[in-house]
Amino acid sequence: MDSGKIIERVKAILITPKTEWPLAATEPATTSALYAGYIAIVAAFPIVAGFLKGSLIGTSAFGMTVRTPIGMGIVGMLLHYGLTLVLVYVMALIINALAPTFGGQKDMVQALKTVAYAWTASWVAGIAVIVPWLGWLIAIAGGIYSIYLLYLGLPYTMKCPAEKAGGYTAVSVIIAIVLSWIIGMIVIGVIGTAAMTGVAMGGMHIGGSNGDSVTVDSNSTLGKLAAIGQRAEQAGKELDAAQKSGDNAAQSAAMGKMMGAVSGSNGAVEALAPDQIKAFLPDSLGNLKRTSSSAQRNNAMGMQVSDATAEYASDNGQHITLEITDTGGAKGFMAMAAAMAPEEEKETDHGYEKTYTADGNMVHEEWNTQSKSGEYSVVLGKRFTVKASGTTDSIDQLKQAVAAIDQGKLESLKDAGVKSN
């Protein structure tokens, strides 16, 4: 590792990107060299800063400072770091697969350069999370600048026409945001779990006699993520054709297929209609009567999601909120998250929190013995979530609230609205 070269590359790509991208694109490189000589170092900056902020400095508000226990912080840091390295490789796979769609040339090493150098701004700005109040603004600015760097770099690394760089950038950014969100949820969900051995790299091994060997276990988390890039290639071709046609309906349908490929659903999914999902909410929960209910279906980036919510209350002050969500077009993400999240159990002086699998479904429960409040949720068919939360006598009432939903009928609809590509 040459720290001097790393610093020079960081400075140049941030300060003079228009002249640095052509140089970076022509440099000889290998996958393992990019990881060992740049990605593994620069990507660690914001993650280490996050650990320092969360576990050593702490977050202060209303006269109190909250810190994550050191052990939990270290586990979270290592998991986040490993998944970030995985995400870089998966995004390179996707950018490489999309290259022909936007008139570019496929080259996996160049795609890895694209991600590594474009994300430099976000990684460096992420150090600012240590700074009180203004840190998050700096981090956001770094993310925005990384989008600009990606736009500048694609014509050099992936050889796409300059006029198509905007579309290429937009699709790549959407995918990166969704995958980053998943990783964030995974890290938040498993901090506190000690048994992380072998999880961090997600089934990826880098190394070999020629210094450029990458092997991926197809059954591992990374293997499943890598398959996303392969599915996205065909969807990208259809999106390109739709853009050329000028047909807005065709473009919308093609974007839906693209997001379906990225989400792992392998096709567009129409979420349940509001009245259909609302019908699962019971009129009462024991002695708690339903006081209000609502349902809606939303469409964003070609993916539909439906949800229904009801409020229940009793005269003695007990209150339960019951929610049903159909992840619809994002059901592939739900399945991926369920596969990646290990079981955990945490005890405190005032309650407990645990995540586990029961009858093939992911379950999460949390209870506070002081406030007599908590939540209980279950994922059905790797598509639907049912959650009960509120103030009751015990967690058992929340479990009974979830059980009041006809779970068998709801789970039987796991393939409803699925349209194969």
Q: Domain of 114?
A: 3-264
Q: Report pTM.
A: 0.50
pLDDT at 293 (0 to 100): 95
Percent of the chain with pLDDT over 70: 65
Residue 283 sits in the same domain as residue 331: yes
pLDDT confidence tier of residue 58, bands split at 50, 70 and 90: low
Domain end call among 240, 264, 288: 264
Domain end call among 264, 298, 325: 264
Residue 66 sits in the same domain as residue 156: yes
Q: Is pLDDT of 206 > 50?
A: no
Q: Is pLDDT of 69 > 90?
A: no
Q: Is position 34 within any domain?
A: yes
Residue 81 sits in the same domain as residue 116: yes
- Total structural domains within the chain: 2
Residue 317 sits in the same domain as residue 351: yes
- What are the tens digits of pLDDT across the range 73-107? 666 677 777 778 888 888 888 899 888 888 899 99
Residue 186 sits in the same domain as residue 251: yes
Residue 306 sits in the same domain as residue 252: no
238 versus 307: the higher-pLDDT residue is 307
Domain end call among 242, 264, 286: 264
Residue 248 sits in the same domain as residue 336: no
Residue 201 sits in the same domain as residue 303: no
- What are the tens digits of pLDDT across the range 32-46? 888 888 888 888 888
The arithmetic mean of pLDDT across residues 166-181, rounded, is: 78
pLDDT confidence tier of residue 420, bands split at 50, 70 and 90: low
Highest mean pLDDT among 185-189, 259-263, 390-394: 390-394
pLDDT confidence tier of residue 318, bands split at 50, 70 and 90: very high
Q: Is position 269 within any domain?
A: no
Residue 279 sits in the same domain as residue 259: no
pLDDT at 159 (0 to 100): 94
Residue 210 sits in the same domain as residue 289: no
Q: Is pLDDT of 267 > 90?
A: no
pLDDT at 155 (0 to 100): 94
Residue 226 sits in the same domain as residue 106: yes
The arithmetic mean of pLDDT across residues 134-138, rounded, is: 61
Residue 256 sits in the same domain as residue 281: no
Q: If DSSP states are collapsed to H, E and C, what string results for the chain?
A: CCHHHHHHHHHHHHHCHHHHHHHHHHCCCCHHHHHHHHHHHHCHHHHHHHHHHHHHHCEEECCEEECCCHHHHHHHHHHHHHHHHHHHHHHHHHHHHHHHHHCCCCCHHHHHHHHHHHCHHHHHHHHHHHCCCCHHHHHHHHHHHHHHHHHHHHHHHCCCCHHHHHHHHHHHHHHHHHHHHHHHHHHHHHCCCCCCCCCCCCCEEECCCCCCCEEECCCCHHHHHHHHHHHHHHHHHHHHHHHHHCCHHHHHHHHHHHHHHHHCCCEEECCCCHHHHHCCCCCEECCEEEEEEEEEEEEECCEEEEEEEEEEECCCCCEEEEEEEECHHHHHHHHHHHHHCCCEEEEECCEEEEEEEECCEEEEEEEECCCCEEEEEEEECCCEEEEEEEECCCHHHHHHHHHCCCHHHHHCCCCCCEEEC
